[in-house]
Copies of this chain bind each other. A is one copy, B any other.
Amino acid sequence: MPDAPADLTDAYKTAFRGHPAGVAVITAEGPDGPTGLTASSVASVAVDPPVLVFSLSTNSGSAGVVLGAPVFVVHLVDSHGVALAKRFASTGSPAADDPIWGTLPSGDRYLPGAATALRCRPLSTTPIGSSTVVVAEVLDIVVGLGHGEPLVYHNREFHSLTDRSRLS
């Protein structure tokens, strides 16, 4: 595909900067220990069997680990997990012995501070330029104990949903 004109790219970036999204942290086991990244593109595709989709904008660092892993964990994050979302949006992941990590019954590491952990295996990874679309089947689900407010990412800021944000 040819490069897009600058004005189209700019309009596209502006459009999606204004498009709100839920927040997820995706973790996987790499050669140097567990790693993860924050993603705002996780969506459900199908329910039986449960299949989700997300995209990664690079294939290096934590994204490369997720793309190469036979199993990874997609965490849906609520307002109690804002610190997790911020932590995994920055470079460098917590060390393997950091108490941020827990262990699933399967033995895979996960983040008990997230609202929900979905252990997944990739069904397909489709490169689109330097990005990749990942379709994954959910193998099992661990629901966290805490219940925060729904968390939304919009224009580089976090919002939470409450009765006051609801439209009649």
Chain A residues within CB distance 8 Å of chain B: 1-4, 8-9, 11-16, 18-22, 24, 40-55, 57, 76, 78-79, 82, 115-116, 118, 123-124, 126, 128-131, 133, 135, 137-138, 140-141, 143, 150-152, 154-155, 157-162, 164-167
Q: List 3 A-B pairs, minimum CB-CB distance, nearest first.
A: A41-B43, A12-B50, A46-B131
**Which of A20, A126, A159 has its CB near the most chain B CB atoms (within 10 A)?**
A20
Residue of B nearest to A16 (CB): B44
Given A8-B141, A19-B76, 16 other A-B residues pairs in contact with their CB atoms under 8 A: A4-B138, A9-B48, A11-B143, A14-B143, A16-B52, A19-B24, A19-B44, A21-B21, A46-B55, A48-B129, A51-B128, A53-B55, A152-B165, A158-B166, A159-B165, A164-B165
Q: Decide yes or no: A53 and B53 within 8 Å by CB, A12-B141, A150-B154 being known contacts.
A: yes
Which residue on B lies nearest to A132, using beta carbons?
Answer: B45
Contacts of A82 in B (CB 8 A): 167
Main secondary structure of the interface of A (DSSP, over half): strand
Which B residues lie within 8 Å of A4 (CB)? 47-50, 138
A115 nearest CB neighbor, chain B only = B18
Complexed CA–CA distance, A46 and B52 (Å): 18
Please give, as numbers and ranges, the residues of chain B lying within 8 Å of A151 by CB-CB distance: 20
Residues of B within 8 A of A143 (CB): 11, 14-15
Partner of A3, one of B14, B48, B129: B48
Q: Are A44 and B12 in contact (CB under 8 A)?
A: yes
